[in-house]
Structure 1
Amino acid sequence: MIRHIVLIKFKPDVSEETISDLFAELREIEKQVSGIRGITSGRSESPEKIERGYMHGFVVDFDDWDALERYQTHPDHKALGGKLVANAIGGIDGILVLDIPVAA
């Protein structure tokens, strides 16, 4: 399994409603790309308070690297990625992405 982790520093003027809409778009992609096991998204509620501005994020679990590639090349993912970049502080610099193999 591959765990795709995305952390986002949204611009201060981006509303929670807009962020929820973006995450809803992400969940629509789940229905279109085979090999997605699940998606979790939201705002950090960490008691440690060391988010360093990355207050929102999502995790997508994929069956394998091929499923991640199908997701990455899907046109809806590319469109959503553009919206995330447009709403992040510093554009792409306001987004962190990690892909970690996980023993199933």
Structure 2
Amino acid sequence: MEEAKGVVKHIVLASFKEDIPPEKILQVINDYANLVNLIEPMKAFHWGTDVSIENLHQGFTHLFESTFESVEGVAEYVAHPTHVEFVNVLFPVLDKSWRRFSNSPLHPPLRFRCFCNVNPLFDLFVVVFDIIVCG
């Protein structure tokens, strides 16, 4: 079997349950972001909230993107005990989610545009996601 090559992106679209306080959501996001420091195959992490005026979000409020150098790195990440522990914290607070791993510049049919605002409360910087996903 030939080894898979190329960067792999892990895209997660999510919405949190309505009764989850903003502080808890931020803590979960910070814990997610910290995985890049704890799990070696995870090379980068970005996230944002949907502020698009196009209303194409399909109910998703957050976008998370992780970067890996290989499919093998993804397998190591998925099985890593720290990731498994985090998933057990993340899933109970989510209303819904959509996940995809891809080493292709094209993803399955979906369009999600995410423009992140500066949040002075948390001193976050502006991140712009414009992911047009087509089959």
Q: Mark yes or no: TM-score above 0.5.
A: yes
| TM-aligned CA deviation for residue 102 of structure 1 | 3.9
Q: 2:102 is matched by which residue type in structure 1? A: I
TM-score by length of 1: 0.84
Give the number of the structure whose residues are more often strand, by fraction: 2
Residue 50, structure 1, aligned to residue 74, structure 2: no
Q: 1:11 is matched by which residue type in structure 2? A: K
Extract unaligned runs of 5+ from structure 2.
1-6, 106-135
**Equivalent pairs, count:** 99
3-state secondary structure, aligned to 1:13: coil
TM-score by length of 2: 0.67
Moved over 6 A (4+): none
Find the structure with the greater CA-based Rg. 2
| TM-aligned CA deviation for residue 26 of structure 1 | 1.3
CA RMSD, Structure 1 to Structure 2 (Å): 1.5
Extract unaligned runs of 5+ from structure 1.
none
Identity of aligned residues (%): 21
| TM-aligned CA deviation for residue 98 of structure 1 | 0.7
Q: Is the 8 A contact 1:7 1:97 kept in 2?
A: yes
Give the number of the structure whose residues are more often helix, by fraction: 1
